[in-house]
Every structure is written in structure tokens, then in C-alpha cells.
Amino acid sequence: MHIAGMIAIGIGVLFLFLGSFGIVRLPDVYNRLQAGTKCTTFGCLFAVLGVGIVEPAWFWKALLVSLFVLLTNPISNHALGRAAKKSGVPLWDGSVVDKSRDFPSYANTEKL
Amino acid sequence: MRILISCVLLVILSLGLVFALEQAPFGSNQIDNADKPGRFYLNQGMEKTGAANVVTSVVVTYRGFDTLGEVTILFIAAIGLGAVFHSRKKVKRYEKEKQSASLILQTGCRFLFPLIVLFGTYVFIHGHLSPGGGFQGGVIIASAFLLLFLGCEEKKIPMKSMNTVESLAGIIFVGIGLAGLYWGESFLENFLPRGMDYMLLSGGVIPIIYIAIGFKVGAELAGIVAGLIERNP
Amino acid sequence: MIVSIFLLVIGAAIVLCLIRLIKGPTATDRAVALDTVTTVTTALLVILALVFKRYIYLDVALVYAVLMFIGSVAIARFLEKGI
Amino acid sequence: MEESLEQILELSLTLLMLGGAVCACVFKDLLNAVIAAAFVSLMAAILFYFLQAPDVAMAEASIGAALTTAIFVIAIKKTKRVEEE
């Protein structure tokens, strides 16, 4: 039980580190949002649930923490991505597709 | 060169902070002088007050009059902000270029609001068993109302009833203190019977005081945020 | 022993986020870095509760998980001219 | 936990706090300064937690990082965003 929990915490910490590394290395805001959202949410889930596996009496509260992380983190990152698009942050030069032009609410945000 | 000098100064400053903090025995149970009040609080606070959290037993019972002063300070700050923001003119809303929130944010705020209020209630009711207390729970409830302001604007918050709640909470706090003076010997004395240790009802009057403080702080901070948002520039 | 390696790796992650918070060209970059730091911090607090072996310390991590997104939402609503 | 690792973590936390505080002083755009101040309050909350004061850590987390950030942002909205020389 102890070893399995430690392996889970290790996977989570590795993903947290990779997400932070992506925050530094990726070229623009939208790519950084990919690293900062998916990677760190997954890593945080695994680390918290790993702690719940190591100490089985803590499992329900750890599950509650991970549930709240899973609820709140995507909302704030969605709001940040929308704010970046609305406030006119340009895309990276090498990006190939921009689907947001198809939607009317994002159509004329370039001149803001 | 300037950056190098500033970095060296930063390292020196942080080393000084760390070695200064190292001198104090944080988190350890070994306080040397046995006749200091800290030893008394650590050893006998649990039996005397029934609060498993030593910080709560100090804040609410031994130093309860001071807590009343802190709540009064917050109340005076809220009154001052209300006086600054008050305008005689009719408030007309200037919503020309205001973007409304997206659907995901609105749904998330509407879903998370009762959960956050429930969690704040948990924090201030269990203040004598786990970390937290009236101030922290009140701030969490005020954050829930702030989220409602940010997410969905169409929900109006009844400020009149919030002022009523705030005044009632203050009256309850002072009334419990005076009741301790009547039935016991001192202000804010524990006059209710105590149950088993480490259970919810072990605190006597401590949960009631914390409920009053939590409602008061939450209503005041929510009022401050509402006054800030609805004020025209 | 292995927990100390985890703590050092998480510290390195926070340092990387601080680098982006200093360098970032726009305000949105910095907000994304702050949001990442909050998620990393929640995991760090839970692991530190495991180190100290105190069950009640998980409440602080729960406060982080519940409340930290409100600051990010406020910054985002300001950037899209909402509030 | 060993003594040396504890000292290393405390030193790095204070260094991170100082770095964030210097950023909050230096930035000209006030929104960036608010973000740096939120970072400082996060690190302060971890330091309180590390010194085994969970009540103070909870107060610092809830007040410093959520409510103060939002109030500063609303105040910037009502006034000006960029600081002038």
C-alpha cells in the first residue's frame, strides 16, 4: 500500500514539474495554458490521491480536495483563455489554425 | 552591476531572516521556562476550555475581550468605507462596454456558490477542533458572495438583510459575554455544560461565539465588496 | 527519504513559475503562471501534511483548492473588461 | 525530516518571497504588481504552514490571495492601470 501510494505521488509530482517546465518553454499564452491546465490538474489529482492511498484513514478528505481541484481549476483557466482572446493577445507566428473566427462573439476582437 | 548587487543584498537579507527564525522554537513542545504563560496554555487549555485547538482557546476565552475589539475595528472600517462610497445622486449604471460572463463561468459560479458557503460554515463551526475559526470562515463566505458578483450579475444580493444579520451577530456576541458575567464570574465565561472531549459540543459557548463572529465578518466584507463594485467612478 | 526528493522537485517547479512571472510579456502570461503556482501549492500542502503526519492540516489544502480560483477569475474578468 | 533539508526549504521560500516582493515594487503596470503581490502572499502562507501555524496559514490564504487580489483589481478598474513617472 505504501509503495503504491508513493508511486502515485511520484507520478503526480513529475507531471507538476513538467507543467511548470512547459510554462517556461512554450511560445505563447494559449500554448502555456495547455501546460498550465491539463498537466497540473492531472498531477495534483495524482499527488492528492496518492497521499490518500498512503494513509487510508485520510482517503475521503483527500478525495474531497481532489474533487474541488477538478471543479475549480478548469473554470479559472477557461476564464483566463477567454480573457486573453478578448483582450487581443496575438497568436504565435507558427500556429496553423484559429477556430475562434467561426464564432460571432470572438469575431471582432482584434482591434481591442 | 546593479542587478548583481541587488541579488547579493537579497541573499544576505534572506539568510538573516532564516537565522532569525531559527532561534525561535516554532511548532515544538519544549518551552524551557516552566512558569511562562505559554506552558500554562499548552498544558491546561484543553481541560479548562474544552477546545482541542489551543489557538481557539486563547483567542476566544482567555483573550475574548481583545477579539471583541478586533470585530469592532472591522465594523468601524466598514462604516468608514460606507461613508466614503455613499453618494446622494441617483445611481445610474454605466454598462455600455461591459462584457457579460461566459456560460461556463456563470454555470460554475451558480454551482459552486452553495458549496463554498457550506465549507465556510464548516470552518467556523469546527473552529475549536480543527484549524480555522470565525474570521477565516467569514472571509470564505464573503469570497462566495464576491464570486457571485464576478460570475452572474443578474443575481441581486439583499444588502438590507445583510446589515440586519451583521447587527444581530454583534448583539449576540455581546449578549453571550454579558450572560457569562451574570451566570459565571467574568465576561465571556463558559456557562454552558460541556460534553465529551474532541466532539462537536465539547466547547460550551465557543461554537456560538464563532458562529456570531463568522456571520458578522462575512456580512461586513461582503458589504465592502458590494459597495466597491456598485460605486461609479 | 523519497518524500524530500518530491519536495525539492516541487520547489523547482515553483521557481520555474516565478521565472515566467518575471519574464512574461503580457499580463495574461503572469496570470497563467500564478494559476499554475496555486495548483502546485495545493499538492505541496497535501504532501507536507503527510510529512508532518497531521490529519487536520488537510483543511488548509481544502481552503486552497476551494478559494484560489477566485483571484484568477477576478483578473480574467478585468482583462476582458467585465467588472 | 532532516535538519538540512528543512533549512534549505525555508531559505528557498524566503528567497521566493523576496523575489516576488521586488517584482511587485518594480513593475509599472499595476495589474502585474497585483499578481506579484498575490504570489508573495501564497509563499507567505506556505511559510506559515511550514512553521506549523495552520490557523495563520488559512487566514493568509483566504484573505491575502483571494479577497485582496479581487479588491485591488476592482480598485484598478475604478482608477488607472498604468503608473506614471
Q: Across the interface, which of D7, D59, D78 has its CB nearest the CB of B135?
A: D59
Residues of chain C contacting B119 with CB distance shorter than 8 Å? 62, 66
According to DSSP, the residues that pair with D82 across neighbouring strands are D29
Q: Measured at the alpha carbon of residue B64, what is the angle toward residues B60 and B69, in degrees to the nearest 5? A: 125
A112 band by pLDDT with thresholds 50, 70 and 90: very low
Who has greater pLDDT, B111 or B42? B111
Residue C53 has pLDDT above 60, yes or no: yes
Which candidate, D60, A80, B128, places its Cα nearest to that of C76? A80
Q: How many angstroms separate the CA of residue C81 from the nearest CA in chain B?
A: 6
Would you kindly state where each structural domain of chain A is located, as residue ranges?
Answer: 2-89+98-106
A111 band by pLDDT with thresholds 50, 70 and 90: very low
Who has greater pLDDT, B149 or B51? B149
Residues of chain D contacting C30 with CB distance shorter than 8 Å? 32, 35-36
Q: How far apart are CA B227 and CA B84, in angstroms?
A: 10
**Grid cell listed for B101:** 460572463
Residue B216 has pLDDT above 70, yes or no: yes
* pLDDT cut 70: percent of chain A above it: 93
The answer to whether the beta carbons of residues C30 and D38 sit under 8 Å apart is: no
The answer to whether the beta carbons of residues B100 and C50 sit under 8 Å apart is: no
Residue B193 CB-half CA count within 13 A? 2
Who has greater pLDDT, D2 or B1? B1
Query: How does pLDDT run across D2-21, given as a tens digit for each residue?
Result: 677 877 888 888 888 888 88
Say how far residue B116 (Cα) sits from the centre of its chain. Answer: 15
CB atoms within 10 A of CB A49: 20
B32 band by pLDDT with thresholds 50, 70 and 90: low
Q: Across the interface, which of B115, B132, B143 has its CB nearest the CB of C70?
A: B143
Strand, helix or coil at D29? strand
Write down the pLDDT at residue B33: 55
A75 touches chain C (CB under 8 A): yes
Lowest mean pLDDT among A78-92, B113-127, D30-44: A78-92
Q: How far apart are CA B19 and CA B205, in angstroms?
A: 41
Q: How far apart are CA B225 and CA D67, in angstroms?
A: 9
Q: How far apart are CA B205 and CA A5, in angstroms?
A: 41
Q: How far apart are CA B174 and CA B201, in angstroms?
A: 21
Which candidate, B168, B135, B167, B142, places its Cα nearest to that of B227? B142
B90 band by pLDDT with thresholds 50, 70 and 90: low
**What average pLDDT does the segment C41-63 reach?**
89
Residue B35 has pLDDT above 70, yes or no: no
Residue B40 has pLDDT above 60, yes or no: yes
Residue B72 has pLDDT above 60, yes or no: yes
Write down the pLDDT at residue A13: 93
Which candidate, A47, A38, A26, places its Cα nearest to that of C10? A47
Which candidate, D30, C74, A111, places its Cα nearest to that of C82? C74
CB atoms within 10 A of CB B13: 13
Write down the pLDDT at residue A16: 92
User: Which range has the top average pLDDT, B53-57, B60-64, C50-54?
Assistant: C50-54
- Asked if B97 and C81 come within 8 Å (Cβ–Cβ), the reply is yes
Tally of residues, chain A: 112
Who has greater pLDDT, B196 or C42? C42
According to DSSP, the residues that pair with D29 across neighbouring strands are D82
A12 band by pLDDT with thresholds 50, 70 and 90: very high
- Contacting A residues, span 1-60, partner chain C, CB-CB under 8 Å: 6, 9-10, 12-14, 16-17, 19-21, 23-24, 29, 32-33, 35-36, 40-41, 43-44, 47-48, 51, 54-55, 57-58
Sequence-distant (6+) residues with CB within 8 A of A102 are none
The answer to whether the beta carbons of residues C48 and D50 sit under 8 Å apart is: yes
**What average pLDDT does the segment B45-64 reach?**
79
- Asked if C69 and A75 come within 8 Å (Cβ–Cβ), the reply is yes
| DSSP count for chain C of H helices, then E strands | 3, 0
**What average pLDDT does the segment B78-85 reach?**
84
The answer to whether the beta carbons of residues B136 and B123 sit under 8 Å apart is: yes
Which candidate, B228, B229, B231, places its Cα nearest to that of B91? B231
Write down the pLDDT at residue B63: 82
Q: How many angstroms separate the CA of residue B25 from the nearest CA in chain D?
A: 9
Q: How far apart are CA C67 and CA B120, in angstroms?
A: 11
Sequence-distant (6+) residues with CB within 8 A of B161 are none
Question: Which subunits have 3 or more CB–CB pairs within 8 Å of chain A?
Answer: B, C
ipTM: 0.88
Q: How many angstroms separate the CA of residue C38 from the nearest CA in chain A?
A: 10
- Asked if B104 and A75 come within 8 Å (Cβ–Cβ), the reply is yes
- Asked if B150 and C56 come within 8 Å (Cβ–Cβ), the reply is no
The answer to whether the beta carbons of residues B210 and B136 sit under 8 Å apart is: no
Q: Is B99 exposed, middle or buried (0-12, 13-18, 19+ CB in 10 A)?
A: middle
Write down the pLDDT at residue D14: 85
Which candidate, A31, A39, A35, A32, places its Cα nearest to that of A96? A31
Question: Which subunits have 3 or more CB–CB pairs within 8 Å of chain B?
Answer: A, C, D
Residue of chain C whose alpha carbon sits nearest to that of A34: C32
Residue B29 has pLDDT above 70, yes or no: no
pLDDT, averaged across chain B = 81
Strand, helix or coil at A31? helix
Q: How far apart are CA B37 and CA B45, in angstroms?
A: 11
Q: Across the interface, which of D18, D53, D75 has its CB nearest the CB of B10?
A: D18
Lowest mean pLDDT among A22-36, A93-107, C6-20: A93-107
Residue A11 has pLDDT above 90, yes or no: yes
Would you kindly state where each structural domain of chain C is located, as residue ranges?
Answer: 2-79
**What average pLDDT does the segment B40-63 reach?**
78
Q: How far apart are CA A89 and CA B70, in angstroms?
A: 45
A8, A10, A15, A19 alpha-carbon torsion, rounded to 10°: 140
Q: Across the interface, which of C59, C67, C77 has its CB nearest the CB of B132?
A: C59
- Contacting B residues, span 202-221, partner chain D, CB-CB under 8 Å: 221
Residue B118 has pLDDT above 60, yes or no: yes
B204 band by pLDDT with thresholds 50, 70 and 90: confident
The answer to whether the beta carbons of residues A51 and A62 sit under 8 Å apart is: yes
Q: How far apart are CA B57 and CA B74, in angstroms?
A: 22
Q: Across the interface, which of A16, A69, A77 has its CB nearest the CB of C13?
A: A16
Would you kindly state where each structural domain of chain D is located, as residue ranges?
Answer: 3-78
Q: Across the interface, which of D39, D49, D50 has its CB nearest the CB of C34?
A: D39
Write down the pLDDT at residue D50: 85
**Grid cell listed for D54:** 495552520
Residue type, D12: S
Q: How far apart are CA B102 and CA C6, in angstroms?
A: 38
Who has greater pLDDT, D81 or A45? A45
A87 touches chain C (CB under 8 A): yes
